[in-house]
Chains A and B, each alone.
Chain A
Amino acid sequence: MSDKTVELMNPHLETARSDYLYHLDINVANTRDTSELQNRFGDVRVICMGGTGSRMRQLALYLRDILVVSESGDPVDLCERGNRYAMYKVGPVLCVSHGVGSSSFSVVLHELIKLLKYARCQDPVLLRIGTCGGLGVPPGTVVASKNAFNGLLRNEHEIAILGQRVVRPAQFSEDVIRDLLAFGVDANDGFQTISANTMGTDCFYEGQGRTDGAICEYSEKDKMEFLQKCHDLGIRNIEMEASMFASVTQKVGVKAGDVCVTLIDRLKGDQITITIDQKHEFEQRPFFVVGRYIKRLLQQ
């Protein structure tokens, strides 16, 4: 097997003797001999990430079944001592929570990518699984993100580095999207899975044109004009992590995909009207799609 481990563009990591993945509470005592981490994580092929620890635990239980990983009892949170993120391991899959929004996600993403390097994981794929607002698609639709737009409707992610504004492209891996649709979809699903553009915003309320926040200084008409403009760009869902996630994984050169289920059609309102049972059922849908994709990936 050819070496498909992750290369990092950080010369400082080459000279550092040790490293500490602070928010995961994982210590790399000796960066030149990472055999312990390789033993623990070297078999990881996929890292699935989602907002809450509880959902990542549910995903871990689900994957345990479909990947026929013979473990019993409650999944163990490997990062519990870090108090920030939860991490569960199911054979070759890690399930990790990332909190809400790009800032929280970027912290754990840097640390997970470093973990992939230290553990010498082969040809990894990073997948985000979540919920989102839909745009012109029915609630319960699963969207595999293609191009990630920011709140300014640009297909990019912006960050301040040493006081300077830096802009990076934000596209997800074409082969991951293709394979998610080819292998993740079943004709009997009872729901639609599509590939489309996604908007990632830093604010859930004003940033997404909601009228039910603590502050709202635009009209319903302004909001609808904005949402229509998004729709015209091929955006079919809105969430809060896609543009950062796409830009970081693209910069590192790691394969990534973002698979979210819509809970609402924002062209029809701001507050969710589905029942709690429907919500639970919808939240499972990305599990099905991602589960089939992973199963197929592991067979290759």
Chain B
Amino acid sequence: MPPTITDNQTHDFKAHYDCAHRSSLQDDETDDAYVKRITRYSDGTVKLRNSNIELMDQDILYHLALGSESHDLQEMFGDVKFVCMGGTPKRMENFAHFIMNEIGYKLPAGTQLQDISAYSYRYSMYKVGPVLCVSHGMGTPSVSILMHEMIKLMYHAKCKDPVFIRIGTCGGIGVDGGTVIITEDALDGQLRNSHEFTILGKTIHRPAKLDKKLARELKSLASPDDPYDTIIGKTLCTNDFYEGQGRLDGAFCDFSENEKMAYLEKLRENGVVNIEMESTIFAALTHHAGIKAAVVCVALLNRLNGDQVNAPKEVMNEWQARPQILVSRYIRKVLTHNGQLKALFGHQGSIKSPRRFKLVQQESQAHE
């Protein structure tokens, strides 16, 4: 029995997008300049596209277990420059430890890394100096909640020009397992470069734009010595892991292997190199909020060769570290450029580890 299929609806999001803000666009103002103007205060801090928030007595970020009156959010998070997010709490805790080592951040004596959002039981959050590491669960609805609350957090904490990076896993299309993929464009299940929102009973499409310059910069940090490829390509984001990604091993499946392969080849022809479940909402919300963002994933398999992940656990763990390595190179580069790496060693009067000593050397060389 074939699935119930209705006629494809054509969603011309550009028309809607133009209508939505044409009246506010000033003469000769570019789209990007417009977004910048309505999403930033003059000092670079985040301005929300929601005038209700500043009128509220208190704002509770339920799913983070934080609030604007219960916590001094500016004191806690005002120095945040990078927000790195990924699916599982365990992986983001591992990343927090990894980045702590990579940027030479030293915790105050007697403390250890703590999950700031433990009491929400929904997401986990770790702070490592200017880097915030947070889990987002699986799928666009879960990411959507986190993103709203993270963007509000940036506002309350008065963070300046934060960068958001999603780190994850994906299925590859025509690429080997272990390949690192930086997303150029995020596409939805119907291959539109947008995310479909349902707001007050109506469908709205917002462009799923990621920062192209940031993607190229990340790519430039891949080393020829890396024993794996790092590529830029289009990413398909689906709402469903099994049927939505053309898998044959779900609880039910109404299509044939031939139909699935034809679909995957069509994706490949459209420049899609990977499939995951979060990138369109991540891109659409960061873009709408005027936040520079990137998506870096590692492929766990090549979907042209099958549906199930077969690599051993140890191999997969090593693969999952690869996006973290690339992102840490980017963070170190930015911190070095801003002269901030030195400050992170502020509490130490002498060399305590060769790795950190090397970082200081690298920083010095960067300023020759």
The answer to whether B107 has its CB under 8 Å from any CB of chain A is no
Partner-binding segment picked from B147-155, B325-333, B349-357? B147-155
Contacts of A53 in B (CB 8 A): 121
B239 interfacial contact with A, CB 8 Å: yes
Contact (Cβ within 8 A) A214 B151: yes
Q: Shortest beta-carbon distance, B342 to chain A, in Å?
A: 34
A165/B139 contact (C-beta < 8 A), A206-B199, A212-B53 known: no
**How far does the alpha carbon of A232 sit from the alpha carbon of B239 in the complex, in Å?**
29
Residues of A within 8 A of B42 (CB): none
Known: A12-B257, A201-B198; 17 extra A-B contacts, CB below 8 A, are A102-B141, A104-B137, A104-B141, A107-B139, A110-B250, A151-B199, A152-B201, A153-B201, A203-B141, A204-B141, A206-B199, A213-B50, A214-B149, A215-B48, A215-B148, A216-B50, A226-B200
Contact of A202 with B257 in the complex, beta carbons under 8 Å: no
Decide: A20 near B199, CB < 8 A? Known: A12-B257, A162-B246, A204-B148.
Answer: no
Q: Do B289 and A204 touch (CB < 8 A)?
A: no
The answer, among B142, B248, B254, for a CB contact under 8 Å with A99, is B142
Main secondary structure of the interface of A (DSSP, over half): mixed
Chain A proximity mask over B235-260: 1 for CB below 8 Å, otherwise 0: 00011111110101111111101011
Bound-state CA distance A214–B284 (Å) is 13
Which of B60, B190, B241 makes the CB contact (< 8 A) with A160? B190
A residues in contact with B151, CB < 8 Å: 214-215
Q: Given contacts A103-B139, A107-B241, A163-B263, is CB(A168)–CB(B121) below 8 Å?
A: no
Residues of B within 8 Å of A103, CB to CB, are: 138-142, 239-241, 277
Across-interface contacts of A168 in B (CB, < 8 A) = 4
Query: With A and B bound together, what is the CA distance between A214 and B156 in angstroms?
Result: 11
Chain A, Cβ-Cβ closest to B255? A162
Q: Which of A209-247 contact B (CB under 8 A)?
A: 209, 211-218, 222-223, 225-226, 229, 240
> Who on chain A is nearest to B123 by CB?
A100
Closest 6 A-B residue pairs measured CB to CB?
A: A103-B139, A101-B141, A160-B189, A151-B198, A214-B151, A113-B251
Residue ID in chain A nearest B188 by CB atoms: A160
Closest chain A residue, CB of each to CB of B146? A100
**In chain A, residues 124-176, which have Cβ atoms closer than 8 Å to a Cβ of chain B?**
150-153, 159-168
Kindly provide the distance from the CB of B68 to the nearest chain A CB, expressed in whole angstroms. 11
Interface residues of A in 107-123 (CB under 8 A from B): 107, 109-111, 113-114, 117
Chain A contacts with B in 11-52, Cβ cutoff 8 A: 11-13, 16, 19-20, 22, 51-52
What residues on A are CB-neighbors of B49 within 8 Å? 214-217
Task: Tell whether, in the assembled complex, residue B198 and residue A152 are in contact, meaning their CB atoms are under 8 Å apart.
Answer: yes
**Chain A residue contacts of B144, Cβ below 8 A:** 101, 202-205, 207
Q: Which of A84, A103, A201, A223 gathers the greatest number of chain B CB atoms within 10 Å?
A: A103
Q: Are A211 and B50 in contact (CB under 8 A)?
A: yes
Which residues of the other chain, B, contact A101 by a CB distance below 8 angstroms?
A: 137, 139-142, 144-145
Most buried by B among A51, A55, A100, A223: A100
> Chain A residues near B257 (CB, 8 Å)?
12
Question: With A159-B243, A204-B145, A207-B197 given, is the CB distance from A214 to B251 under 8 Å?
Answer: no
- Chain A positions within 8 Å of B, measured between CB atoms, are 8-13, 16, 19-20, 22, 51-55, 83-84, 99-104, 106-107, 109-111, 113-114, 117, 150-153, 159-168, 201-207, 209, 211-218, 222-223, 225-226, 229, 240, 248, 251-252, 271-272
Q: Please name all residues of chain B whose beta carbon is closer than 8 Å to the beta carbon of A55 when the two chains form the complex.
A: 121
Q: Are A100 and B142 in contact (CB under 8 A)?
A: yes
Please, how many angstroms separate the alpha-carbon atoms of A257 and B60 in the complex?
A: 31
Tell me the smallest distance from the CB of A151 to a CB of chain B, in Å. 3
Known contacts A16-B249, A166-B4, A214-B155; decide if A207 and B198 are in contact (CB<8 Å).
yes
B154, closest chain A residue (CB):
A214
Ordered by A's residue number, 26 sampled pairs between the chains whose C-beta atoms are within 8 Å are A9-B254, A12-B248, A12-B257, A22-B308, A53-B121, A100-B141, A100-B142, A101-B144, A102-B239, A106-B139, A153-B201, A159-B240, A161-B240, A161-B243, A163-B190, A166-B5, A205-B148, A206-B199, A212-B50, A212-B59, A214-B152, A218-B199, A218-B200, A222-B200, A240-B141, A251-B252
Q: How far is the CA of A214 from the CA of B2 in the complex (A)?
A: 41
**Once bound together, how far apart are the Cα atoms of A195 and B139, in whole Å?**
29
Q: How many residues of B contact A (CB 8 A)?
A: 76
Given contacts A53-B121, A104-B138, A202-B141, contact A214 B48 (CB under 8 A): yes
Within the assembled complex, what's the spacing in Å between the Cα atoms of A251 and B250?
A: 13
Interfacial chain A residues near B243, Cβ < 8 Å: 159, 161, 166
Q: Which of B191, B199, B241 contacts A106 (CB 8 A)?
A: B241
Contact A165 B8 (CB under 8 A): yes
| A117 cross-chain contacts in B, Cβ below 8 A | 251
**Known interface pairs A103-B138, A103-B142, A114-B251; A207-B199 also in contact (CB < 8 Å):** yes
Separation of A217 and B253 alpha carbons in the complex (Å):
39
Q: Which residue of A lies closest to B250 (CB)?
A: A110
Question: What's the minimum C-beta distance from A126 to chain B, rounded to whole angstroms?
Answer: 12
Residues of chain A within 8 A of B52, CB atoms compared: 211-212, 216
Give bound CA distance, A43 to B266, whole Å. Answer: 44
B238 contact set on A, CB distance < 8 A: 160
Closest to A166 in B: B3
A100 touching B252 in the complex, CB below 8 Å, given contacts A151-B198, A214-B151? no
In this complex, what residue of A is CB-closest to B58? A271
Give which listed residue, A51, A109, A203, A209, contacts B251 with CB less than 8 A.
A109
Residue B343, interface by CB 8 Å: no
The reply on B41 being an interface residue by CB < 8 A is no
Q: Do A20 and B309 form a contact, CB below 8 Å, given A10-B252, A104-B137?
A: yes
Question: Which of A99, A203, A211 lies in contact with B137, CB distance below 8 A?
Answer: A99
Contact between A229 and B255 (Cβ–Cβ < 8 Å)? no
Q: How far is the CA of A13 from the CA of B308 in the complex (A)?
A: 13
Shortest CB-to-CB span from B73 to chain A, Å, is 14
| A10–B138 CB distance below 8 A | no
Q: Which residues of A contact B308 (CB under 8 A)?
A: 19-20, 22
B288–chain A nearest beta-carbon distance, Å: 6
For residue B303, CB closer than 8 A to chain A, the reply is: no
